């Protein structure tokens, strides 16, 4: 038999109330530096319990041509489709309290320490943020948003590092225009990126450096005002050293909409009922994700060396 110490009725009632309070509070904690939810639209539409997330992409083949009246060889169009699948992967972490902690809290009339529950929630959010950004290659999610294989194959190179004072404002502006033109040209004007994600240091440089020695407009404000389709410039620490080889910083110009890019979070943070293991009272937590899908790779572009 397993030896365990049980709570008496008063202790059980106290612990149940406290645990419900602790659980509720974990949902109120904010994580401003975990930005994948802000940068990559989130979808919760995949049913909980799914093992795989699949989306289909269709294209048409054939074209119309001039014909003669009564022609019997009229050209025909058709559609072709491809399927892209990613596995759903679960993440788990637990927290708990021992019998002594519970009795000490009850005796002192103070609430249980919420830091353990907060740490569990933080750990799960970090996992979701990481998988959205870079995938989980060892578990079947090959890449994420910042290391997409299609985009890496067509990466642009910056004229100079944007946070280097020797790189001129004109060079930085020219680099962003190069990114923008690359998307427009590759899609024949169908796509135009509306969001530029860059590392924190580069964001600080663009937000503080003037457009020129005779202007009080910053480079950041000038870019937003001069490129009509550019709606936002966002700092993201994960882009530091995200370039090819892990030696340079990376910028991403893309369209921030769920029609273009989306992270599938199949199960948001959830907690199991408490269970006892000897003198310990544990709570398991879990999430599930399939990572990020970039539905239209030509709608986004990387630039390394920024």
The total of other beta-carbon atoms located within 10 Å of residue 32's CB is 6
- According to DSSP, the β-strands at 156-157 and 78-87 are unpaired
β-bridge partners, 215: none
Instruction: Using alpha carbons only, give the angle 35, 40, 43 rounded to the nearest 5 degrees.
Output: 115
pLDDT of residue 3: 57
Extract the residue ranges of the chain whose pLDDT is less than 50.
1
pLDDT of residue 199: 97
9-58+83-143+263-294: which CATH topology? Major capsid protein gp5 fold (3.30.2400)
In the chain, domain spans: 9-58+83-143+263-294, 156-261+296-304
Instruction: Return d(Cα 38, Cα 65) in angstroms, integer.
Output: 46
Cα–chain-centroid distance for residue 198? 14
pLDDT of residue 1: 44
Q: For 43-60, how does the pLDDT look when each residue is reduced to its tens digit (9 = 90+)? A: 999 988 889 988 765 555
156-261+296-304: which CATH topology? hypothetical protein PF0899 fold (3.30.2320)
One fold for 9-58+83-143+263-294 and 156-261+296-304: no
Handedness of CA 170, 173, 177, 179 (dihedral sign): positive
């Amino acid at each position: 038999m397993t030896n365990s110490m049980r709570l008496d009725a008063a202790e059980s009632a106290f612990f149940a109330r406290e645990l419900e309070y602790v659980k509720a509070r974990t949902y109120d904690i904010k994580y401003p530096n975990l930005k994948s939810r802000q940068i990559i639209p989130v979808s919760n539409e995949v049913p909980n319990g799914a093992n795989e997330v699949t989306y289909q992409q269709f294209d048409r083949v054939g074209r119309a041509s001039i014909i003669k009246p009564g022609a019997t060889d009229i050209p025909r169009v058709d559609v072709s489709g491809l399927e892209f699948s990613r596995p759903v992967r679960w993440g788990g972490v637990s927290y708990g309290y021992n019998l002594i902690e519970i009795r000490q809290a009850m005796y002192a009339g103070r609430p249980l320490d919420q830091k353990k529950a907060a740490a569990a929630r933080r750990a799960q959010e970090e996992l979701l943020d990481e998988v959205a950004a870079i995938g989980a290659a060892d578990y079947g999610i090959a890449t994420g948003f910042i290391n997409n294989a299609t985009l890496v194959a067509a990466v642009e190179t910056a004229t100079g590092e944007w946070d280097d004072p020797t790189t001129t404002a004109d060079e930085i502006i020219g680099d962003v225009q190069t990114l923008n033109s690359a998307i427009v040209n590759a899609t024949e004007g169908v796509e135009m990126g509306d969001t530029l994600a860059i590392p924190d240091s580069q964001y600080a440089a663009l937000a503080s450096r003037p457009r020129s020695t005779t202007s009080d407009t910053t480079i950041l404000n000038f870019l937003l005002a001069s490129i009509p389709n550019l709606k936002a410039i966002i700092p993201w620490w994960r882009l530091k050293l995200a370039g090819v080889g892990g030696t340079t910083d990376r910028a991403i110009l893309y369209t921030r909409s769920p029609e273009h890019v989306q992270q599938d979070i199949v199960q948001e943070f959830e907690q199991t009922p408490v269970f006892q293991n000897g003198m310990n009272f544990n709570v398991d937590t879990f999430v599930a994700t399939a990572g990020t899908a970039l539905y239209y790779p030509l709608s986004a572009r990387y630039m390394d060396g920024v």
